[in-house]
Amino acid sequence: MESFNFNITFDQEISQLFKQNNCSDFHSASEFVQNLPYRRNLNKDNLATVFIDECGTCSTKHALLKTLTEENNQSDFKLILGIFRMNGVNTPKIKSVLETYNLDYIPEAHNYLKFKNQILDFTKRNSSKNDFITDLLDEIEIQPHQINQFKIEFHRSYLKKWLIENPQIPYSLEKIWDIRELCIAHLS
């Protein structure tokens, strides 16, 4: 992990919040975020919500860390929006939901960082790129402000295309989105 570590030297909002939580470098900041519970935040448009709610999702946690890298002039970090096959193997907690609806997988949006070409996933304590890398379907670079509406629109557009390419799936976009929401509820 040292290869992508840096000291938090600037005093902008996010850097200050990390310092107030005894984080002096990226390594301690990413560890802090990784150890927070996985849960949706009340206000995804304000990244300080991760500190206020004492939790986060892949979106808010990685957008927060990306903002920290920007505040400290670390340009080698990228915030990535990936789409992967979320299935009962890489996400065991959703297996029963997928079985109920007779689905092998659902394309799921996932945020993570890349340092140069190395994937960094700080979503949960034991998160690893190995959780999704073999099931990765697509990825694009985004900015922290794009984790809310843009991410939802990109994800829904991907699902719409997936349903057209897989006419054997008997569900509408809205129904697939509801099934996906049920899967997410099983993760919290």
pLDDT digits (tens, 9 = 90+) for 138-154: 999 999 999 999 999 99
Same domain for 52 and 85?
A: no
Token digits of residue 134: 């073999």
- pLDDT-based confidence at residue 132 (cuts at 50, 70, 90): confident
- Give per-residue burial for 176-187: e unless 16+ CB within 10 Å, then b: bbebbeebbeee
Domain boundary at 16, 45, 71, which?
71
Residue 81 pairs in a beta bridge with 111, 140
Same domain for 96 and 37?
A: no
Token digits of residue 62: 């990685």
pTM of the model: 0.93
